Amino acid sequence: MNKYLFTLLLSTAGTIGCFAQANIVPAAKQTKTIAITGATIHVGNGTVISNGTIVFSGGKILSVTANGQAPQDIEVIKADGKHVYPGLIAPITNLGLAEFSSVKATLDFAEIGNFNPHIRSLVAYNTDSKVPATLRSNGILMAEITPEGGTISGSSSVVQLDAWNWEDAVVKTDDAMHMTWPAIPQSRGEFGGRRQLLTPEVIAERRQNAINELEQFFSEAKGYAAIGKPTVTNTRFAAMKHLFDGKQQLFITADSQKDIVASVNFAKKFNIKPVIVGGDEAYLITDFLKENGISVIVKQPHALPNSTDDDVNMPYKNAAVLANAGINVAISIEGYWQQRNLPFMAGTAVAWGLDKEKALSAITLNTAKILGIDKTTGSLETGKDATLFISAGDALDMRTNHVEKAFIQGRDINLDNLHKQLDKKFSEKYGLKAAN
Amino acid sequence: MMKQLLTLALVFSATVLFGQQTYPVNGSYDTRPGLFAFTNATIVVNANQTISNGTLLVKGQTIQSVGSGTTVPAGYVVIDLKGKFIYPSLIDPFTTYGIPEPARTAGGGFGGRQSIFISTKKGSYNWNEAIRPETEARTMFTIDTKKADELRKAGFGSVNTLNHDGIARGTSAAVSLSDERENKIFLKDQTAANYSFNKGSSQNDYPTSLMGSIALIRQTYYDAQWYGRQKEEYNISLQEFNRQQALPQIFEADGWQNVLRADKIAKEFGKQYIIKSTGDEYQRIDAVKATGASLIIPVNFVKAYDAEDPAEARNITLAQMKGWEMAPANPAALEKAGIRFSLTAYGLESMKDFWANIRTAIDNGLTEKQALLSLTEVPAAMIGISDQAGTLEKGKLANFLITSDNLFKSSNVIFENWVQGKRFVVSKMNVNDLTGIYNLTVDSLGSLNLKINGTSAFVQRPGADTTKITASITRNGDWVGISFNLKKTPSGEVRLSGYLTSANPVMLRGESVLASGTAGKWSAQFISANTEPPKKEKPRAVITAGKLIYPFVAFGTENSPKQETVLLKNATVWTNEKEGVLLNADVLLENGKIKAVGKGLSAGSAKVIDATGKHITAGIIDEHSHIAITGGVNEGAQSSSAEVRVADVVNSEDVNIYRQLAGGVTTSHLLHGSANPIGGQSQLIKLRWGKTPEELKFGGNDGFIKFALGENVKQSNFGSGLRFPVTRMGVEQTYIDEFTRAKEYKAGLTAKGNTVRRDLELDAIVEILDNKRFITCHSYVQSEINMLIHAADSIGFKINTFTHILEGYKVADKMKSHGIAGSTFSDWWAYKMEVAEAIPYNGKIMHNVGITTAFNSDDAEMARHLNQEAGKSVLYGNVPEEEALKFVTLNPAKMLHIDQRVGSIKAGKDADVVIWSDNPLSIYARAEKTFVDGIPYWDMEKDAQIRAQQQSEKARIIQKMVESKSKGAKTQRPSADTPRIYNCESLEDYSAALNELEGVKTHE
C-alpha cells in the first residue's frame, strides 16, 4: 500500500515538473501611462471608433477618443490599421479546475452530492495550469470559473488570467450560484429504431420528484436565511443566503423550452431573476424571456442540432435570434482548453445573422453585465479597467485573429504559452521559422 | 407424499384422443374413431378456391375429403355449418412457442467490467458462444398450454418455433398447437437453420458490434468449409453448421438495411435466406425486392404518439410520425412489389392486437387473398410443411377454423379452431341471440328498460326525459353479466349476474348487487324485438397516406435532386491546382464531372448560377469520420479485428450526412474506432443523401484499414484491463505477432494441397503486405509513432497515413523520409494525458517539413466546419491560405489515393464542388450549395423550403394522430429519437442494445 502511494506521488510530481511553464511570469503593475493610437477601437457596447486613441494609467482607462492625440511623455503603441478590443470574458468554464479530462487526479470541478451550494470554485482554481496562457494569446483575458455536477453545483468566481495565485486572480468572488434544471433526458439514438431504457412516464415522474425536492430545498434555505442566528448551522443553506438578498446571481442550466419556462417560474417564486445557461430552445420562447427580462448564456454555438428534425444550422443561429429579439445574450463555449475558440463562437453568430459589434458584446460587455462586473470591465470606457488586447485583424475570425499585445488591468502580459514554446523548440529541430 | 401421488395421478389422466403407440395407459384405453362431417359450409380450401355449401370429412387427425355434394358415411358426427365458413388454420413461421426464454445479461460486452474471450460452454463446441448451431428447438420444446390457447384463439393451428438466441441459432421445429403430448404434435423436427446479428445470451465480448457479428458469420462459413476438409479438430458446432446447410435458412434481421446486409452475406456464400424483418421494408421496397429473399413480416405497428401538447410533440420526429402513418401499408407494399412474404404475430404486445392489425393492413391495401396466403400457404412452404398444413386438402392435417363470416371482416367471429382433428372452442356456436328490448326488474331499484343490441346494452328509467345509460354486458354460454351506473338513486355500479332460463321468449334471472353492497334478485323479460339494425360492418377506411421520402428521416425528399448541367459564374475559384485562386472565374459542371474552369465560359444549355462575390472550392474531404455507421464503430474485444468491415454497416439514413453537406463535406472516410491496435477495414463514402448504403460508397478506391496506438488501445480509460495489450510495449508485439502470422499464413496458402483455414483477419494483413490495403493509424505520442515506423521497416509494410498524429511535429522528419502523410486536429489538446503536448502548430510544422498534411474531424459536429478548422492553420502558423484549404480538400484526397478524382477544381474531376458566401477559411463563410457528382444535395434556399414542407407534413400527421386517439386508438408518450453520434472512442455492445430494446418491449 505504501509502495503504491509512493509510486502515485512520484508520477504526479513528474507530471507537474514536465509541463510547468516556469518562465512565463505574471506581469507587474502598470507604472507608466500608455496610449494606443491609430487603432479601430471596438468599445464592446456596440460602438466602433476608427483611428482611435485609448489612454490608460494605473490600470484604468483614462480616455477613449477618436483621432485623439496621445499626451506627451508617455509610452505610445502605434496600432495603425489594427484593432483594439476589450478583454474577452469566458463564462461558465472549468478552466483551472481541469488539466487533462481523462486523468482523474487533474479534475476538480464536480463534487459528489446533489445539493452543493456551499462548494466554491475559486479555492481550486489553479493559476499554474498551462491552459490559461493558451487562451490569453487569442484575447480571452477573464473567465468565470464554474463548478459542475449535481442539481446545485456551487458558486463560481470571476478571475483574470494572469496571476500568481487565486487571490490576486479574482475579479469577483462567488459571483453566481449554479444549478441544473432537472431535465428530460434525451433518448440515445440507436440502430434503426427507438431506444429508451426508461419509459417516458417513469422519466416524467422522476423529474417531477427532483423538482419537488429542489423546491423544498429552496424553501428551507429561504427560511434559514431569515433566521438571524441559527442554533444549528447548515453550511449548505448558509451558502444560499445571497441568492435571496440579491447579492448573488442564480444561473440555471436549461435547454428545452419547457424546462426554461419552468425554471424561470420556479426562481420567480423566490423573487430571483435567474440567468439561463444553455438555452438550446430559447429561440422558441423569446417573448417569454423578454417579458421576464431574462439573460441567456448561449452555450456552444458549434453544436449539433438538438433534434434530428431541427434546422441543421439552428445552433449557429440561436444567439442571433435571441439577441435580435432584444434579449441580453452572452456566448460561451464548453470546456477549458476549448475557450480559446470563444471569439470564433461570436464570429459564428455574426455569420448567421448577428451584427458584428453586438456579437462582440456577447463575449464582453453583455457577459460582464450578467456576471455583475460591468462597472469595472467589459468595455473600453473611461474609468474601467484597462483589460484589452490589440489584434492585427478582426479577432472574431480565425483567419485574421492575431493578438499582438494584451493588457490586464493595465499590466502588459506575456503572450507566450506552452504551444508557442514547443513550436519554437521543434521548428528549431527542422531549421524552420517558428510562428511567433 | 400424498400430494406427490396426486400430482402423478393428474398427469396420467390427461385425455388421450388418438393412439400413442409407445406410451402406456393407466386404466382402460380411450381410443376414439374421430369421425366428423362438417356440412353446408362455405369452405375456403385455399386462397384461390372456395366451395360453397361444401362438406369436410375428417378422420382422426386427417382430412378425408373436401367437396360439395358429398354423402356423409355412417358413423360420422355431423356438424351442420349452414351460413358458416371453414378456413385452413393459420401458420406462424416465426415464434418461440414452447421454448424457454434465454437468460440474457444486459449491457455486457467489451468495455464492461469483465473480459470473456472464448465460449463458456463446456465441450467440443465453437470458440464463440454466439455460434451455436447445435441448438435444436426440438430438444428444448415443451407444450405451453397458455400460449397455445392464445395462439389458437387468434386462429393459428401450427407454428415454427426457434430458440431466439445467438448468431447461429440452430434448428427450429414445426409443431401443431394441439395440447396432446409433445410426441404427437411435431410436424417437422428440423424446419430450418436460424441466424441473426444478435449474439444474445453469449457471454463472449466478441462480437460487440454489428460489423463484428457480420464478420463472425462470414468467418464461420469459412471455418465450416475448412472443417469439412480437415481431420485434426472435432467440433460439434461446425459439423452441425455444415449439416444444416441443406435446410431452409431463416435470418432474423432488424429493418430493411439489415435485410440488405443479411442478403449480402447469403449471396457471398451462394445462399438464399428467408429473412424475418421488422416491417419497414416499404421505405426501400426496390432494394428489398432486389434481394430476391422471401420475408417474414410482423404486424406490430407502432402506436400513435400523444401529440396534443405542441412542446411535447416537438420530440416526435418526422421519421417517427411517417413510420406510424405508413407502416400499416407495409404488407400492401410488399404485395404490390411482388415480394413473397409470410406474416407473423411475433413482436405483438398482445395477441389480442393481431386481428385488429391484420385488418388495418387490409384497410391499407393488403388484399384478403394475399393476407390468407401469407398466413397459410406461404409460411407452410417456408418451413416445409406444405404437405401437412396450409390448405384444406385430402390427406392433410385437420387444422381448420370455423368462422361466422369472411375471416377478414371485423364482425367475424372465430367459433372453433380444430387442430389435428381435435376441437378447440374459441367462441360458442349457435348461441341464442339476446338482442331485444326487455323489462328489467331489480330488487330495490324497481323497473327499468333494458335494450340489448348484439354485444352492447343500454338501460333507461321508464318514462320520458330520462337518459339512456350504457351498460356493459358479458356473456359466457347461458351465463350473462350486466353492469351499469344510474349515477343517482342510487349512484354507483349496479352489477347483475344470472342465466338464461327460457329461450323463447328470452327470460333472464339472477342475483344483483348494488354499490352499497345490498344484494337481491333481478329478472329481465323479453318484450319486443329490437328495431335498431345490428351494428354494421365498418366501411373500409379511406387511407390517405403520406409520400415516401428518401432517406426516411427529416430532410429526406420525395424526389432526390438531379444531376445538373450548371455554369457557376463569376466567382473566386480556389482551384487547388497550379492556376491557384482565380478571380471572376466560372466553373462548368456536366454529367457529374467538372467540364471546364476559366473565365468567361459559355453557358450553352447549362443552367447559370450567378456566383458573384462567392467563393468556389472543391468539396471537403474528411479523412477521419464515424458518421453514417450503424451498430458500433469499435470491435475492440480482440487486439486485432482486421476482419471487420465498415463497408458492411454503412447507414444511409444518418441525418449527419445532410448536416455535413451543409458544411461543404462531400467525401468521408468512415473509420473503425481506436479500441485496439489493429482495427477494422474502413469505407470511403460520398455524401449522396437519399441513396442506399451501397450507392453511398465512393467506388473504385483503394481499401484502407484503421490501426491505433496509445491510450485507447491499451484501454487506459475503460474496460477490464484484461485484454492484451495494456502497455505501449505490448502494442509493438501485437503488430510483430500479427504480421508474422500473416506471412506464414500467406506462405501456407501457396503450398500445394494445403488445408490452411481461410482467415479473414489475416487476409486483410496479407493485403497490407501486398500493398493492396493501406494503413491509417491513430497515433499520439512520438515514441509510439517511431515504434510503428520501425516495426513497418523491419517487417516490410508501409504506413500510408498517421491520423490524429498529435505529436507529428516531433517526428516530422521521420514521417517525411518514409513518405507518410499526417491527418491531425487543428487545435485539440488536453483531453487526455497523451495530448499533453498536442499543439495547434502541428499542422503547420508537418506541412512545412513537406508532409502531406490534413485536418480531420473524428467528430460529427466538427466536420460541419472543417473549412474553418483549416482556417486555424492561418491563425496558428501563418500557413498560406491556398495551402490551408488543401488541408481539408486536396491533401486528404492524396492520402486516400483519390486525388485523381476529387480534391481540386480541374476539368475532368468529379463535380464535388461547394459555393461559399465568403472566403472559405473565414468564420463568416457559409456553404450555400454543395454538389456531389454534380448533384446539389445541399442548397441553402431549398433547405428552407424542405423545412417548411416538413412543418406542414408534421402538422398534418399530428392532426391524424390526435384524431386516432380521440377515436380510441392506443397511444404512447413521445420520446425523441436522436441519431447516435460516434467518435473513435465510442464503445457499445450492439447485441446488448438490441436485448435492452426487447426488454423494454416486454415490460411495457
| Same structural domain, B335 and B229 | yes
Q: Which of A313, A322, A256 is nearest to B314 (CA)?
A: A256
| Same structural domain, B884 and B934 | no
Domain limit, last residue, from B425, B445, B471: B425
* A/B interface, count of CB pairs below 8 Å: 210
| Same structural domain, B489 and B566 | no
Residues 781..840 of B with a Cβ closer than 8 Å to A: which? 809-810, 812-813, 827-833, 835-837, 839-840
A397/B872 touch (CB, cutoff 8 Å), yes or no: no
Q: Which of B615, B620, B618, B617 is nearest to B570 (CA)?
A: B615
What does the pLDDT read at residue A184?
62
What does the pLDDT read at residue B502?
82
In a domain, B72, yes or no: no
Nearest-CB residue to B977 (from A303, A308, A398): A308
What does the pLDDT read at residue A9?
37
B725 and chain A in contact, CB less than 8 A: no
In a domain, B488, yes or no: yes
Buried residues in B313-349 as b, exposed as e (16+ CB within 10 A): bbbbbbbbbbbbbbbbbbbbbbbeeebbbbbbbbebe
Q: Which residues lie across from B596 on neighbouring strands? A: B588
From chain B, the residues in CB contact with A100 under 8 A are 830-833, 835-836
In B, minimum Cα distance to A425 occurs at B810
Strands of B891-934, DSSP E: 913-916, 927-932
In B, minimum Cα distance to A431 occurs at B849
B1000/A313 touch (CB, cutoff 8 Å), yes or no: no
Q: Which residues of chain B have pLDDT under 70?
A: 1-20, 104-113, 432, 464-465, 531-544, 976, 978, 994-1004
This prediction has a pTM of 0.91
Nearest-CB residue to B836 (from A100, A187, A352): A100
A351/B830 touch (CB, cutoff 8 Å), yes or no: no
| Same structural domain, B384 and B511 | no
Nearest-CB residue to A312 (from B659, B878, B980): B659
What pLDDT, in 10s, does the model give residues A60-112? Answer: 999 999 987 777 789 999 999 999 999 999 999 999 999 999 999 999 999 99
* Backbone torsions φ then ψ of A216, nearest 5 degrees: -60, -45
What pLDDT, in 10s, does the model give residues A353-406? Answer: 999 999 999 999 999 999 999 999 999 999 999 999 999 999 999 999 999 999
What pLDDT, in 10s, does the model give residues B539-587? Answer: 666 666 789 999 999 999 999 899 989 999 999 999 999 999 999 999 9
Closest CA–CA distance from residue A127 to any residue of chain B (Å) = 16
A347/B997 touch (CB, cutoff 8 Å), yes or no: no
In a domain, B568, yes or no: yes
Residues ≥6 apart with Cβ < 8 Å to B557 = B549, B550, B690, B946
From chain B, the residues in CB contact with A422 under 8 A are 809, 837, 839, 841
3-state helix, strand, coil in chain B (%, to 5): 30, 25, 45
Q: Which residue has the higher pLDDT, A1 or A348?
A: A348
In a domain, B743, yes or no: yes
Is it the case that residue A173 has pLDDT exceeding 80?
A: yes
Closest CA–CA distance from residue A283 to any residue of chain B (Å) = 13
Task: Reduce the secondary structure of A217-286 to three states and give it as a string.
Answer: HHHHHHHHHHCCCCCCCCHHHHHHHHHHCCCCEEEEEECCHHHHHHHHHHHHHCCCCCEEEECCCHHHHH
Closest CA–CA distance from residue A332 to any residue of chain B (Å) = 16
B712 and chain A in contact, CB less than 8 A: no
In which order are the strands placed within the sheet that holds B683-686? B620-625, B665-670, B683-686
Q: Which of A283, A363, A398 to mutate to test the interface with B (most CBs of B within 10 A)?
A: A398
What does the pLDDT read at residue B542?
61
Q: Is B589 helix (H, G, I), strand (E, B) or coil?
A: strand
Is it the case that residue A414 has pLDDT exceeding 80?
A: yes
In which order are the strands placed within the sheet that holds B703-708? B678-681, B703-708, B773-778, B801-804, B821-824, B853-855
| Same structural domain, B846 and B857 | yes
Helix pair B728-750, B782-795: axis angle to 10 deg: 20
Closest CA–CA distance from residue A74 to any residue of chain B (Å) = 32
What does the pLDDT read at residue B841?
98
Closest CA–CA distance from residue A313 to any residue of chain B (Å) = 8
B839/A350 touch (CB, cutoff 8 Å), yes or no: no
In a domain, B990, yes or no: no
Q: Which residue range is the domain that position B916 belongs to?
A: 557-618+903-940
- Give the containing element (helix H, strand E) for B629: none
Domain limit, last residue, from B390, B425, B460: B425
| Same structural domain, B893 and B909 | no
B318/A308 touch (CB, cutoff 8 Å), yes or no: yes
CA angle B160, B161, B165 (to 5 degrees): 140
Q: Which of B978, B981, B984 to mutate to test the interface with A (most CBs of A within 10 A)?
A: B978
| Same structural domain, B254 and B276 | yes
From chain A, the residues in CB contact with B653 under 8 A are 192
In a domain, B17, yes or no: no
Contact A190, B997 (CB under 8 A): yes
Q: What are B895's three cell numbers?
A: 492520402
B845/A430 touch (CB, cutoff 8 Å), yes or no: yes
Q: Which residues lie across from B645 on neighbouring strands? A: B681
Domain ranges, ordered by start, for chain A? 88-377
In a domain, B1001, yes or no: no
What does the pLDDT read at residue A5?
38
Residues ≥6 apart with Cβ < 8 Å to A76 = A34, A35, A36, A37, A70
Is it the case that residue A40 has pLDDT exceeding 70?
A: yes
Nearest-CB residue to A304 (from B311, B861, B975): B861
Integer CA distances (angstroms), B605 to B569, B820, B953, in order: 14, 45, 36
| Same structural domain, B478 and B569 | no
Please report which confidence band the pLDDT of residue A4 belongs to, taking 50, 70 and 90 as the band edges.
Answer: very low
Q: Which of B248, B291, B190 is nearest to B381 (CA)?
A: B248
CA pair distance B883, B852, nearest whole angstrom: 11
Q: Which of B977, B982, B994 to mutate to test the interface with A (most CBs of A within 10 A)?
A: B977
Closest CA–CA distance from residue A78 to any residue of chain B (Å) = 22
Interface confidence, given as ipTM, is 0.93
| Same structural domain, B907 and B830 | no
Task: Reduce the secondary structure of chain A to three states and give it as a string.
Answer: CHHHHHHHHHHHHHHHHHHCCCCCCCCCCCCCCEEEEEEEEECCCCCEEEEEEEEEECCEEEEEEECCCCCCCCEEEECCCCEEEECEEEEEECECCECCCCCHHHECCECCCCECCCCECHHHCCCCCCCHHHHHCCCEEEEEECCECCCEEEEEEEEECCCCCHHHHEEEEEEEEEEECCCCCCCCCCCCCCCCCCCHHHHHHHHHHHHHHHHHHHHHHHHHHHCCCCCCCCHHHHHHHHHHCCCCEEEEEECCHHHHHHHHHHHHHCCCCCEEEECCCHHHHHHHHHHCCCCEEEECCCCCCCCCCCCCCHHHHHHHHHHHCCCCEEEECCCCHHHHHHHHHHHHHHHCCCCHHHHHHCCCHHHHHHHCCCCCCCCCCCCCECCEEEECCCCCCCCCCCEEEEEECCEECCCCCHHHHHHHHHHHHCCCCCCC
Q: Is B318 helix (H, G, I), strand (E, B) or coil?
A: helix
| Same structural domain, B651 and B516 | no
From chain A, the residues in CB contact with B836 under 8 A are 18-19, 100
Please report which confidence band the pLDDT of residue A329 belongs to, taking 50, 70 and 90 as the band edges.
Answer: very high
CATH number (domain holding residue B771): 3.20.20.140
Number of domains present in the structure of chain B = 4
The overall average pLDDT reported for chain A is 91
From chain B, the residues in CB contact with A195 under 8 A are 993, 996-997
B943 and chain A in contact, CB less than 8 A: yes
| Same structural domain, B613 and B625 | no
From chain B, the residues in CB contact with A197 under 8 A are 996, 1000
- The architecture in CATH of the region A88-377 reads Alpha-Beta Barrel (3.20)
Residue A207 exposure: Cα atoms within 13 Å on the Cβ side? 18
Domain limit, last residue, from B375, B402, B425: B425
In A, minimum Cα distance to B840 occurs at A419
Closest CA–CA distance from residue B223 to any residue of chain A (Å) = 29
Buried residues in A68-82 as b, exposed as e (16+ CB within 10 A): bebeeeeebbebeeb
| Same structural domain, B509 and B586 | no
Is it the case that residue A12 has pLDDT exceeding 60?
A: no
What does the pLDDT read at residue B14?
42
* Backbone torsions φ then ψ of B160, nearest 5 degrees: -100, 135
In A, minimum Cα distance to B716 occurs at A102
